[in-house]
Chain A
Amino acid sequence: MEQRKNAFEISVGIGLIVLCAAVLFESTNIGPPLYDPLGSAALPQMASVIIIAFSATMVFRALRRGRTLDGMVEPGSSVPSKPWIGLGFVALCISYLGLMATEITGFRTATILFVATSGILLAGFRPKAIAIVTLLALILGIGGRYLFTQVFYLDLP
């Protein structure tokens, strides 16, 4: 499979340029220096300009290198990587937080659901792994609540 090896460099570079442009725009709302010669806007503006310059150079260099092979295989590995598993995992992490933030469920239920579903996603539906993951989900959900609130005195949703 062929893809742009430097697609990440280009997209990250462009993303950083956009982010820093927004920071530069936002920094115009910061008032002038009040008690010292530096003020609050100088350093963010300087940092943004440096990042924009470096990112533009990175994008330019990546574009100049052009198309190269990147057979979806990580260096030192013989197995193709699975970006969709990573994406799915991140989506589950966001849903896990969302469930608790919207108070649909508390820590215990959300953790059991998250660990079980993400475990199944990562295990690729292997029956033995699914059984262990389910057990782990119950332990983390029920035991975790006890451990974090009763032993470490941490606040949980």
Chain B
Amino acid sequence: MEHFLAAFANLLTPVPFLHVLMGTAAGVFVGAVPGLTGGMLIALTLPLTFYMDSTLAMIMLVGMYVGSVAGGLISATLLRMPGTPSSIMTTFDGYPMARDGRPERALGIGIGASFVGGITAGVILALLSPPLSRWATTFGPWEYFTMTLMAVVLIASLSQGSMMKGLLSGVLGMLVAMPGLNPADGQLRLTFGFHTLDAGFKLLPVLLGVFVMSQVIKEAVNILNRPERVTMGQASVFLRLSEWRRHWVNLLRSSVIGTFIGILPGVGSSISSMVCYATAKGTSKNPEVFGTGSEEGIVASEAGNNANVGGALVPLVTMGIPGSPIDAILLGALILHNLQPGPLLFINNPDIVWAMIDSYLLANVLMLIIMLFAVRIIAKVMYIDRVFLLPTIFVFCMVGSYSLGSSFFDAAAVIGFGILGYCLERAKIPLGPFVIGFVLAPILERELRSGLMLSDGSYLPIVTRPLALIFVSVSVALLLYPVITEKWRKRRNAAKQA
């Protein structure tokens, strides 16, 4: 409590407050522009934070994360085009409502739900993180190794599309992290004789390539695609408290579900939003209205996706495991600022962890204010022509990657990973597991190596240590689940036909 209050008091001083405000505002604007995502913004901003104070950098990035997820609601409602992938479910009801002449109400409901989802998750984040991090400090290398493995399997199995493609993406990300000098034994590996690969691929060029460049290429290919749009009228986006009364159960349920899905390592806010939407539809008295402009649908989707952001910060700050692909970038930011992510972060740098938690809560309040008062301006800005955006974004990518070590190799890597990311996406291979795999591979290898050294090369501790066994069992269950359900489905269909 003492750290929480101290960090909050510090956040309310002008400089930190301004950083959270700038981050949140930038996030909301970028989140609202179709084709630009929070991941892009945070990856592009990373190099600009090199010379900033670590706390200021982290709180600004957290603000961007919160703002970008919330901002996606505006384009989802007015353009039927989610500004961020997490707002896909909002398009189903937000756009029909807007087309029915109620865009302001749809936006008002979405903004309010985002706020409640965010604050609920913030409270859970603040309460759950300290005990969880204390618990995580008791982990040995085998527990850490199996938990990291579980995170990769989890994100692969829950990513959209086939699980095999999710796993393929995750393992490919891991492989990309392996070239260069192996710190454990000083051997060079997978450099193919190129000395530029001796240090391996740096995190930032990979992030910029996969998150930013691939999206830029995709937008360039679809440059002629202009979405339908609905313009806002003069009605107010403010809703009276009494109007929220009939939504409170849905609000609370979606916020809690969103938070706990976020806590699962590797699961992004798109999944939260879908689960909350499906739950709201399943428990609604009027499920037939969903998809035609249902207020309940917007509430569930927006509360769920914003709550996910807070939930996803839990494994990040307590165990150093990214809760979503954007959290993988935040993990990278911690590393770039010479902070060691993991359970000891809470012990060694409590000021930064609490600043991140408190800035998450503050960013949600600022997001509410910005979106309520500036929604009309944002709605105009989001129509900005991509012709001007795409070259500008690439210039920022180039500057960011080059400035890492004054090397054109890093800048070229951005283009290379951008092309790879674009091709993977076209082949319907999700990019989230790739980034998580890339970030987690060194941790996975380090812990496996430490575990094997402790057990004299034996893999037995995986089954003899209870927690490690649980994590491995969950991973195996996640891998087998789709295979078994598919077999059951086929058997049932065969029985029906017979």
Contacts and interface: CB of A to CB of B under 8 A. Distances in A.
B494 interface: no
Contacts of A90: 217, 220, 415, 418-419
B168 A51 contact: yes
B175 A58 contact: no
B408 interface: yes
B27 interface: no
A78 to B, nearest CB: 8
Contacts of A47: 171-172, 174-175, 178
Given A97-B408, A140-B395, A35 B222 contact: no
Given A9-B427, A51-B168, A153-B51, A100 B395 contact: no
Contacts of A111: 395
A111 to B, nearest CB: 6
B398 A140 contact: no
Contacts of A39: 185
B190 A157 contact: no
A100 B441 CA distance: 33
Interface in A75-89: 76-77, 79-83, 85-86, 89
B460 interface: no
Nearest to A148: B399
A38 B459 CA distance: 11
The prevalent SS among residues of B at the interface is helix
Contact of A12 (B391, B427, B452, B456): B427
B402 interface: yes
Contacts of B386: 122
Contacts of B456: 37
Given A93-B415, A155-B406, A44 B175 contact: yes
Given A40-B184, A97-B411, A144 B387 contact: no
B224 interface: yes
Interface string A15-39: 1100010110011001101111111
Contacts of B429: 12
The prevalent SS among residues of A at the interface is helix
Contacts of B167: 50, 54
Given A38-B452, A89-B390, A12 B164 contact: no
Nearest to B184: A36
Contacts of A144: 395, 399
B165 to A, nearest CB: 7
B195 to A, nearest CB: 15
B335 to A, nearest CB: 19
B123 interface: no
A44 B221 CA distance: 34
Contacts of A22: 192
A69 interface: no
A14 B457 CA distance: 35
Interface residues of A, number: 74
B170 to A, nearest CB: 10
B224 A40 contact: no
B189 interface: yes
B225 A79 contact: yes
B47 interface: yes
Nearest to B386: A122
B387 A12 contact: no
Interface string B194-238: 000000000000000000000011101111111000000000000
B240 interface: no
A132 B164 CA distance: 46
B48 interface: yes
Contacts of A57: 164
A44 B178 contact: yes
A97 B171 contact: no
B403 interface: yes
Interface in A118-152: 118-119, 122-124, 129, 132-133, 136-137, 140, 144, 148, 152
B96 to A, nearest CB: 15
A122 B226 CA distance: 13
Given A93-B415, A94-B415, A119-B391, A37 B452 contact: yes
B392 A115 contact: yes
Contacts of B477: none
Contacts of B174: 43, 47
Contacts of A157: 402, 406, 408
B100 interface: no
Nearest to B424: A12
Nearest to B226: A79
B394 interface: yes
Contacts of A136: 388, 391-392
A43 B168 CA distance: 15
A101 B174 CA distance: 29
A3 to B, nearest CB: 12
B221 A85 contact: yes
B9 interface: no
A143 to B, nearest CB: 11
Contact of B220 (A80, A122, A155): A122
A36 B175 contact: no
B351 interface: no
Contacts of B408: 97, 100-101, 157
Given A12-B426, A35-B185, A39-B185, 10 more contacts: A9-B428, A43-B445, A58-B164, A58-B427, A77-B222, A81-B224, A82-B222, A97-B412, A114-B394, A119-B391
Interface of B: 47-48, 50-51, 80-81, 164-165, 167-168, 171-172, 174-175, 178, 182, 184-187, 189-190, 192, 216-218, 220-226, 385-388, 390-392, 394-395, 398-399, 402-403, 406, 408, 411-412, 415, 418-419, 422-424, 426-429, 441, 445, 448-449, 452-453, 456-457
15 contacts: A8-B423, A12-B426, A31-B187, A34-B185, A35-B184, A38-B449, A50-B171, A54-B164, A54-B167, A76-B81, A82-B222, A96-B398, A114-B391, A123-B387, A124-B223
Question: Considering the complex of A and B, which 5 residue pairs feature the smallest CB-CB distances, nearest first?
Answer: A37-B457, A86-B221, A12-B427, A154-B403, A54-B168
